Amino acid sequence: MAAEMAEQPDVLARLAGRADEIEAAVRGVAPVGPAGIILVARGSSDYAAIYGRYAIEIASRRPVALAAPSIQTLYQSPTDLTDWLAIAVSQSGRTPEIVTMTEKMKVAGARAIAVTNTPESPLAAVADVAIDLSAGEEKAVPATKTFSASLLAFALIAQALGPGELRDRMGGVSEWVQWVLDDPGSAERVAIELHYAEGLISVGRGYMFSVALEAALKLKETTSILAEGYSAADLRHGPIAVVERDFPVLTLNVPGPAQPDMDELIAWLRSEPKARVIQAHPGEGADLPLPPGCPEALAPIPAAVRAQQVALQLALRKGLDPDKPEGLSKVTATT
């Protein structure tokens, strides 16, 4: 896991360097003025797709939906997807229900893009075009470099379907991720604080919601902590009641439209005082510093790497093997 995390700057630099190729492929397959975009994924890829929903819907101003594969794979209830663009995400490209769902979406009228790290996979074969993440083999069960590459792939797809306002900033992603990797100390300090924690809530809003979910998953996978990710809005609708004195809450907060709501939530959490607030942000005093100058729409990528660092360090402190968590496998064959 540590070695694959260290590869991320190079992986992201290579992917950003293919921006023109990827944008041309997306424009070549997408319906002109698509009725909507539907995303299908599971696990970490599903959380990448949540980021994709924000990135694509904001850029394209077209409705973006996350598919529930069971509706078609189990309940056999087809949906009319005429003039829709479908984007299926699977690092292995071999998850049966994602492949089946992509086939069914094409039959229903959609044009399909596969985002995968395995260009010779069944998923790539059934899609109209495949975006190869080119991240290299990922041996550790927790996805690291393929997750960050999936986020960048969605950012590139969003640029292809919208005005391309962030096109010139894509090259900076690898540098922002390297900035995080060059500072492992903050994650080590947070891991020390979390050593005896039995639970954790991670919170973000807008683009950062996906990272809140992924951070919780990484902690569950590698450390067996009962971690849950929430939108700042959803947290207030009941789950916040579980926050007791010294309960750890990881907040992911960057400049942008979602920041005022996050600031308000953090102020409330700190004033009770109930939670042990662990703040990830680009300003002074952050427990987990994020790189300054990174646009909100791209900030989830270095933030996800920061969460990976915490999960890795906490697993090591607990004497656990982060590469092979008990009971998990690299390819999950859900149908």
Residue 331, pLDDT score: 61
Give residues with Cβ within 8 angstroms of 268, minimum separation 6: none
Task: Quote the tokens at residue 335.
Answer: 């149908």
Burial of residue 99 (CB within 10 Å: 0-12, 13-18, 19+) is buried
Which of 274, 318, 324, 330 is flagged as catalytic?
330
Same domain flag for 115 and 233: no
In a domain, 330, yes or no: no
Whether 235 and 213 have beta carbons less than 8 Å apart is answered as no
- Nearest by Cα to 161 from 298, 28, 301, 297: 28
Residue 3, pLDDT score: 96
Same domain flag for 302 and 200: yes
- Nearest by Cα to 303 from 328, 324, 278: 278
Give the CA-trace dihedral at 58, 64, 66, 70, to 10 degrees: 180
How far apart CA 276 and CA 281 sit, in angstroms, is 16
CATH code: domain of residue 206: 3.40.50.10490
- Residue 323 is classified by DSSP as T
In a domain, 44, yes or no: yes
**Can you give the residue range of the structural domain that contains 30?**
2-170
Whether 274 and 245 have beta carbons less than 8 Å apart is answered as yes
Burial of residue 3 (CB within 10 Å: 0-12, 13-18, 19+) is exposed
How far apart CA 271 and CA 38 sit, in angstroms, is 41
Same domain flag for 143 and 196: no
Q: What angle do CA 312, 156, 294 make, to 5 degrees?
A: 60
If one counts the domains in the chain, the total is 2
Q: Is residue 330 flagged as an active site residue?
A: yes
Give residues with Cβ within 8 angstroms of 32, minimum separation 6: none
Per-residue pLDDT of the chain (335 residues; tens, 9 = 90+): 999 999 999 999 999 999 999 999 999 999 999 999 999 999 999 999 999 999 999 999 999 999 998 888 888 888 899 999 999 999 999 999 999 999 999 999 999 999 999 999 999 999 999 999 999 999 999 999 999 999 999 999 999 999 988 888 999 999 999 999 999 999 999 999 999 998 999 999 999 999 999 999 999 999 989 999 999 998 888 777 777 777 899 999 999 999 999 999 999 888 866 679 999 999 899 999 999 999 999 999 999 999 999 999 999 999 999 998 776 665 666 65
Same domain flag for 29 and 132: yes
In a domain, 51, yes or no: yes
Residue 165 CA neighbour count, 13 Å, CB half: 10
Whether 242 and 290 have beta carbons less than 8 Å apart is answered as no
In a domain, 323, yes or no: no
In a domain, 176, yes or no: no
- Residue identified by tokens 């990710």 is 229
- Nearest by Cα to 301 from 2, 12, 85, 1: 12
